Structure 1
């Protein structure tokens, strides 16, 4: 979610974080020998990281960091629109059997992990066995990976069976045990064998923030500390870290020779201009990236204007009219050479209901009616207009812009605001105000109080207040339980909540991930609602093995109908974002599904000192 600062201005914590930026020193390895001052990219994110172990994280903010430290077999062409896959550490594209069940890939020789004491002074080459080990970690019960359900769904031969046996026997994971479907055929050749047809497996390989290779020596050298000690083959290494405050990544001094190259569409003027300017430049082009964590929007906005940050990711909604009045860059910003980049995100805003909760969960007509009434009483267009300053479009289904099942012309009850129909549903199923206090009771006469998780920031309070008024208008009372985002997310995954509102970003072009939000096998992971419906499970299983085409699209359409009928999620909107950059930040282009972009930007010319 994005957040709005309270009218009183930045908190003491935000001011301290900003003050700390000015005193940062650059580690020696960040310098570019013989090339003048180090090139440093400085910006802030809104939510604190949880850690940097690819197998243990699922939040966007941590994954943004890991995407620059670790590397996977494949990636996306940085300039291609629509998205196009290309090798990263793989030597060429995979060899795939006709039934898409056997995938064979070769790791390019001569790629090395960044230096670490775990390697005992030796250069450590990336090999196929590193991917075998990294993927086995998702199945290790002790790791408790939130990505296990996605890996499990792929059907790697023998992996789920071994995990099930360990859960039964309580034995530790034996990483030396051969797994039939996950093998290193030789030093550089990896082969994955699957139970079912998986035509889009490459899109999983390209999620380098999650499926990047880790080294076994590092994991074993720092037991229980993988979240704090990331070591990969990527263009950056972790330099300094003050938890929930500041993360510094330095250019990897041992990074291989990798050069700017891409294939934008012939009619893509912006992409062609970037390619002409940077083709052949060695990556990364900056020496260091400093990422501050500042939750409130006002200090992030002011620090960008004061040149304490070079880049403002996602201009806060409460300042969008100052930045882009009437959709054009403000003259005072344009005079400074500030650049604006506006895009429709591959994400969706939603409210999730815990289907295991005794108040809002369940599949009986009365509980379904309650969730649908809450959805009908929610004025998403007002939220978009007032709180989000018009920077979103209403959502009509679970599916996300830029993915295969998204249809801009689709319309459903999911996008309706109809308080009269909400009241009629509540009346019909026995949610009435029996004692005359203005609030409806449960059909059995008990007090009905909804509870939603929330976060302690001004923008979210504005969203909450609008929603609270919406529900009060139909006689429903909602209270809020405030916590930091990481703590709320833990409660969400554990099922210790009733309602929460947040956002989901697409990690790949295929829509299967959105459908996974309804699959019973993904409970505790991407199925935040803990939804269980056999018909939806069948749709998910069928869609996974089908090639793209009319038959698969029909499955997605049926899933939209079931999602609206049972309403475990109320999808509210898809966001527009505007990123801002000072003129010395060059080469930026917002990625669609991938998180890594730092290596593709340059700092050209020394940034002027912040105003006194």
Structure 2
């Protein structure tokens, strides 16, 4: 049994988004503090790194944002989900090496038996899988059974848990589950976990039956997320109560060994983990994937004994900790250091001399600006309001943003669909990707946004002042983005104001519909590109749809896409949705990032995941390289 150490506490940040995930502060949204830090901060960061235990394979690296806890139902942030993804196991997972993405069974015996209308799914849970040892089990092995997934899914519906990702399951419409939640809220009584819900039932010890009100051909993608959909044991949750976030007990390859909140988290190999071996299906022409498969096929997982994760929020000390060999791996090189690490996609000679390996890839994410469609100045659906947003979008010099602020790490966005997801077409072009200040000025002139009093600033068509303000944060990257945006708006005669607040505060204000404009980002959580279209879906206004965009034609397209299988008909709807999104412009899609990771030569087997977060079990440490 592994000893667990937990100290202090930290509040979590709220947010929610279907098919998307956080990369910083909240689910589906992400923003990171990228300021400079003084040398003492670097020294403080290094103090959190422990010494490698003798004879153990250990990987050490740093998160750039603190964790919030380890109870999947309550999580909203990406970095906590990195932890839970390695402690818990969902029914399905993504093939680690397959590109394009491929889903395969994890705790399920095979792929689901599915009804012709994609409303009923029958899944067999593999016998012989056991939860990690915990005092709650009183020394007896506790086998994973179908009822554990029934309980796990119900926890998201329990109003008492205030789950940030309930909206994902709510939209799936399991027969009876939404109704039970509504009745619980209305009655103000505790959620009845023993009540039989027709849409989520265990037919026997190992058989799970899921029934949905509507057709859902891609349900399996919602079941392939260890970080949120991993099974929990009811007796563990009930025993630890409010402290369950500090006592994660799953069936995954790692267990929580030690935890100093917002400082150092250690996960250790799960001694009760079943015999699970490295296997994958990389494409035949995927040289990197084939080489990894040849090297590791048949190896028992996990190959690491421990993973030690420090929290270093500022980029300078995080960068220095890697240079000083205090960490073995650097996840996403801060953009301000890319030219010192891997300019032009090639590791600099000084690092290459020491065997450092670089990994660069186009990420399934995007940065954007949102307009509050309910704001009286930038919102609305009349021609002049649409023209204002289009003009502001055309005035944003995204290419210079990429080149200067992001050191070349990105490509301009053309639509809300992100790379590596269905519906993404690298050949698609739209006004969203254009920089044309002359056209922006002409649009403003045409629709009455002109300077009437000669002060150099445009007024609204009715002659009232045109006052634009933009929410932002105080960190270095946000300052640079805001200053560039302000310069671009000034160039077309629009006077703007920047309002600085902390990221959580801006998020809460955006959810309440009280922001005018804001920079944010999102990252795909699954292969289905429709997740990004939640940004525009009317019923998600204030949640996934922070712009509060409402358009009946778009909503109809969105609902049709939910029930159609992948194919030409659905691709045509993707195209229609993109065109509506570009035409009304409730968002400005800025770019999709290139991300760069660095690893010391003794870290072997790494390949950046696309949508999934569990990858530590596929990493090995070559101790001969470390000693050398």
Q: Does the pair score TM above 0.5?
A: yes
Task: Please state if 1:19 is matched with 2:46.
Answer: yes
Question: Structure 1 residue 41: deviation in Å?
Answer: 1.1
Is the alpha carbon distance of 1:144 and 1:430 closer, same or farther for their aligned partners in structure 2, counting shifts above 3 Å?
A: farther
Contact 2:31–2:520 (Cα < 8 Å) also in 1: no
* RMSD, aligned α-carbons: 2.4
What is the CA–CA distance in structure 1 between the aligned matches of 2:345 and 2:103, rounded to whole Å?
A: 33
* Partner residue, 1:581: 599
Is the alpha carbon distance of 1:170 and 1:308 closer, same or farther for their aligned partners in structure 2, counting shifts above 3 Å?
A: same
Match of 1:63 among 65, 72, 81: 81
SS at match of 1:371: helix
Task: Please state if 1:99 is matched with 2:81.
Answer: no
Aligned length: 599
Question: Structure 1 residue 17: deviation in Å?
Answer: 4.2
Contact 1:2–1:459 (Cα < 8 Å) also in 2: no
Question: Structure 1 residue 2: deviation in Å?
Answer: 7.1
Is the alpha carbon distance of 1:482 and 1:121 closer, same or farther for their aligned partners in structure 2, counting shifts above 3 Å?
A: farther
SS at match of 2:471: strand
Question: Structure 1 residue 474: deviation in Å?
Answer: 1.9
* Partner residue, 1:540: 558
Is the alpha carbon distance of 1:424 and 1:205 closer, same or farther for their aligned partners in structure 2, counting shifts above 3 Å?
A: same
Match of 2:288 among 251, 270, 284: 270
Say which is worse superposed, 406-415 or 244-253, in terms of deviation: 244-253
* Partner residue, 2:539: 521
Deviations 1:239-298 (A, max 9, x none): 333333333222222222211111222222211221121122121111221222323222
What is the CA–CA distance in structure 1 between the aligned matches of 2:226 and 2:344, rounded to whole Å?
A: 38
Contact 2:602–2:626 (Cα < 8 Å) also in 1: no
What is the CA–CA distance in structure 1 between the aligned matches of 2:470 and 2:138, rounded to whole Å?
A: 50
Deviations 1:500-520 (A, max 9, x none): 212211111111211222222
Match of 1:476 among 494, 498, 507: 494
Contact 1:47–1:485 (Cα < 8 Å) also in 2: no
* Partner residue, 1:327: 345
Question: Structure 1 residue 351: deviation in Å?
Answer: 1.3
What is the CA–CA distance in structure 2 between the aligned matches of 1:237 and 1:481, rounded to whole Å?
A: 43
Contact 2:74–2:164 (Cα < 8 Å) also in 1: yes
Is the alpha carbon distance of 1:532 and 1:355 closer, same or farther for their aligned partners in structure 2, counting shifts above 3 Å?
A: same
SS at match of 1:254: coil
Q: Structure 1 stretches of 5 or more lacking a match? A: none
Is the alpha carbon distance of 1:254 and 1:539 closer, same or farther for their aligned partners in structure 2, counting shifts above 3 Å?
A: same
Match of 2:226 among 173, 186, 208: 208
Is the alpha carbon distance of 1:286 and 1:349 closer, same or farther for their aligned partners in structure 2, counting shifts above 3 Å?
A: same
What is the CA–CA distance in structure 2 between the aligned matches of 1:65 and 1:140, rounded to whole Å?
A: 23
Contact 1:346–1:402 (Cα < 8 Å) also in 2: yes
Q: Structure 2 stretches of 5 or more lacking a match? A: 1-29
Say which is worse superposed, 525-534 or 447-456, in terms of deviation: 447-456
SS at match of 1:146: coil
What is the CA–CA distance in structure 1 between the aligned matches of 2:382 and 2:236, rounded to whole Å?
A: 50
What is the CA–CA distance in structure 2 between the aligned matches of 1:161 and 1:528, rounded to whole Å?
A: 26
* Partner residue, 1:158: 176
Contact 1:134–1:213 (Cα < 8 Å) also in 2: yes
* Partner residue, 1:288: 306
* Partner residue, 2:472: 454
Matches within 5 A, 1:190-269: 190-269=208-287
Contact 1:354–1:529 (Cα < 8 Å) also in 2: yes
Is the alpha carbon distance of 1:268 and 1:119 closer, same or farther for their aligned partners in structure 2, counting shifts above 3 Å?
A: same
What is the CA–CA distance in structure 2 between the aligned matches of 1:401 and 1:513, rounded to whole Å?
A: 12
Is the alpha carbon distance of 1:78 and 1:427 closer, same or farther for their aligned partners in structure 2, counting shifts above 3 Å?
A: same
Is the alpha carbon distance of 1:554 and 1:327 closer, same or farther for their aligned partners in structure 2, counting shifts above 3 Å?
A: same
SS at match of 2:109: coil
Question: Structure 1 residue 487: deviation in Å?
Answer: 4.4
Contact 2:57–2:306 (Cα < 8 Å) also in 1: yes
SS at match of 2:427: coil
Question: Structure 1 residue 453: deviation in Å?
Answer: 3.1
* Partner residue, 2:442: 424
